[in-house]
Structure 1
């Protein structure tokens, strides 16, 4: 009887360990097998951006913006313009105590793509290409951060790094600066 207990507990431990490891491996496998990072990396080196490239970038983020209905994306684009101007006018070290709901990285990319596709024939192509490549790199960096740091509630390290990335991305968008 005494020799069966360690054998049984070892067996149970192996099954639990394999199950936990299998879930993580399956998620990493699904993430890697879609090959989306390599496609996004290709978009990072696009010299002349086409509407197809814009739609490709748009396909890498969630289907709908968080705070705006599809029929009201113009107000979202105006909010993005306001955030760009606010980020470029304020000192990054000063905290103004505002706790407004800000656009997240997906929202920034969704609204940028919406603006760029609607105004494709009338935008500065150099600014479009620079902003487009920068947002592709931001999305790659965002994914790297999420993969590197454990996503848990109140993970201040990850939250801080994502906020810094979001802020720098918004400051860098030239196409929508007014």
Structure 2
């Protein structure tokens, strides 16, 4: 729990240091690059504490507290990846694709993540398990969302996940669509 709290605090501080509160960052570039490398070590340490629950794999009800902690770890790691992505864009560095995050469950539904009552959460989670009988929505599915043409429709699982998503999930969806558009335009310029 201490490492999780430290990683979350670090995420907030790095956002301030990298992008500033006013018009300029608190740190000059490339000094911030070393902090980014140090962040990777914290992210690796946090990931080594466990990011999946057996109950999630078995599609059964986990403990509320264990689920909340593991979900918070995954959200923190996704947030740190997003920070790295934004920093790379800002300074013109190659963008990491983050495909190693593919097996992660996408951020949990708003009604589960924001629920503060264990018994109510358990009922909601059981309903959610029934709704997602084929398994939870994964980050790999989010990475495959294609928004290159207006005529492209989301697949039913993506629509269902998006209908439940909170602000963090929406931010990841927007990032994914931006990345897809960037890679598509890059492929066109290389042809």
The answer, yes or no, to whether TM exceeds 0.5 is no
Structure with greater helix percent: 1
Per the normalisation by structure 2, the TM-score is 0.28
**Larger relative contact order, structure 1 or 2 (CA cutoff 8 Å, min sep 6):** 1
Per the normalisation by structure 1, the TM-score is 0.30
Bigger-Rg structure (1/2):
1
